[in-house]
Amino acid sequence: MTTLLLIEQILNGLQFGVMLFLMAAGLTLIFGVMGLINLAHGSLYMVGAFAAAAVAEATGSFLLALIASLIAAAAAGAIIELVVIRRLYDRDHLDQVLATFALILIFSEGTRWLFGSFPLFLDIPDALAGPVILPGGIQYPAYRLLIIAIGLLIAFGLFQLIARTRIGIQIRAGESDREMIAALGVDISRLYTIVFALGAALAGLAGALVGAIQSVQVGMGEPVLILAFVVIVIGGIGSIKGALVGALLVGLTDTLGGVLLPGFFGTFMEPSAATAVGSSLASMSIYILMAGVLLFKPTGLYGGA
């Protein structure tokens, strides 16, 4: 394996990681602040992608499409929080899982009803369509670099929001003692709606960004949701920092595992068997990583006690 290829694969891992971070950040905030397991987070990712595809189709502007994905997902998030989720805070996790699973089905069927079962297409703007040459002669798609940049910017913004703003203080307070901040006069239900909408918007943005390089289709959110859960378990539930570190770890492990393991087995096995063993082991690698982390840190890397 050449150094160039390795660097390119590390960039791929980073790009995958920051995408997972956008999903995991919302999930971990919602779980941390409200104690709610939201299986429908993947549906919000899908809503964002579909909104972006529809707006891009109508206006031809990618920027407007991204804005639409944020607004549509935040609105969808706020609505389900007000209508459904609000009734679930006091229930146990099984009820939450059941109700949010029902939301997945409703969103999937609703989207199918509106847009049909065929995948939609969302094109990358022409200016970002080709590759760029990085120092060292690495060719890398410009759009993927942009995704990495946007992801890191949002991570930075979220840290600032949580650490330095009034709403951030309320979120942190909500994580540690719900009753107390309600007693101090903070409108807790408004806070919950805001946090939920914020998480939803991030998921929607991730959906739109990824939709442009993959395909926009019903059910696109669920595979990502599973990975996002792995990320927050690794990072520690409720921790944004944990979500970032966990997401990058999972992204890099998944990408590099898929590339390096078949090569590793290829040194002593015949090629087709090596590919088979290597790729099956690679798809397990993130779960092995998760098990390893939990073994030493049962609450995750940055989880509370």
Partner 1 sequence: MQFKSLILAAGLAALASAGVADGHGGTVKVGMITTLSGGGAGLGIDVRDGFMLAAKMAGNDNLEVVIEDDQRKPEIAVQLADKMIQSEKVDVMTGIIWSNLAMAVVPAATAQGKFYISPNAGPSALAGKGCHPLYFNVAWQNDNLHEAAGAYATDAGHKNTFILAPNYPAGQDALTGFKRMYGGELAGEIYTKLGQTDYAAEIAQIRASGADSVFFFLPGGMGISFLKQYAGSGVDLPVVGPAFSFDQGILQAVGDAALGVKNTSQWNKDLDNPTNKAFVEAFQAEYGRLPSLYASQGFDAANLLLSAMAKADVKDADAFRAALAAADFDSVRGDFKFGTNQHPVQDFYVREVIKEGDVFTNKIISASLTDHVDAYASECSY
Q: Is 75 exposed, middle or buried (0-12, 13-18, 19+ CB in 10 A)?
A: middle
Interface segment toward partner 1; rule CB under 8 A; list 8-16, 24-32, 84-92, 233-241: 8-16
- Tell me the closest approach of the beta carbon of residue 11 to partner 1, in angstroms: 8
Which amino acid would we find at residue 43?
S
Q: How many residues does the chain have?
A: 305
Interface segment toward partner 1; rule CB under 8 A; list 121-129, 150-158, 167-175, 292-300: 121-129
Query: Which residues are within 8 A (CB) of 139 and not within 5 positions of it... i.e. 6 or more apart?
Result: 8, 131, 132, 133
Q: Which of 117, 160, 165, 189 binds partner 1 (CB under 8 A)?
A: 117
- Tell me the closest approach of the beta carbon of residue 259 to partner 1, in angstroms: 5
Q: In whole angstroms, what is the distance from residue 62 CA to residue 123 CA? A: 8
Residues 236-275 that bind partner 1 (CB under 8 A): 255, 258-259, 262, 271-272, 275
- Tell me the closest approach of the beta carbon of residue 205 to partner 1, in angstroms: 17
C-alpha angle 232/12/122, rounded to 5°?
90
Q: Which of 150, 167, 219, 241 binds partner 1 (CB under 8 A)?
A: 219
| Long-range contacts from 64-68, C-beta under 8 angstroms, 24+ separation | 65/122, 65/208, 66/205, 66/208, 66/209, 68/208
Which amino acid would we find at residue 113?
W
**Does position 108 bind partner 1 by CB under 8 A?**
yes
Q: Which of 34, 76, 120, 290 binds partner 1 (CB under 8 A)?
A: 120
272 to 5, 33, 147, 269, 278: CA distances (angstroms): 21, 48, 34, 8, 10
Of 239 and 253, CB closest to partner 1: 253
- Tell me the closest approach of the beta carbon of residue 90 to partner 1, in angstroms: 33
Q: Which of 61, 63, 91, 118 binds partner 1 (CB under 8 A)?
A: 118
What's the CA dihedral at 172, 175, 181, 182 to 10 degrees?
130
Q: In whole angstroms, what is the distance from residue 181 CA to residue 245 CA? A: 29
Of 271 and 292, CB closest to partner 1: 271
Q: Total residues contacting partner 1 (rule CB under 8 A)?
A: 46
Q: Which of 215, 269, 281, 299 binds partner 1 (CB under 8 A)?
A: 215
CA 110, 18, 275, 137 torsion: positive or negative?
A: positive
Interface segment toward partner 1; rule CB under 8 A; list 93-101, 116-124, 172-180, 235-243: 116-124
- Interaction site with partner 1 (CB under 8 A): 1-2, 4-5, 8-9, 12, 15-16, 108, 112, 117-121, 123-124, 129-131, 139, 141-144, 210, 213-215, 217-220, 223, 255, 258-259, 262, 271-272, 275-276, 279-280, 283
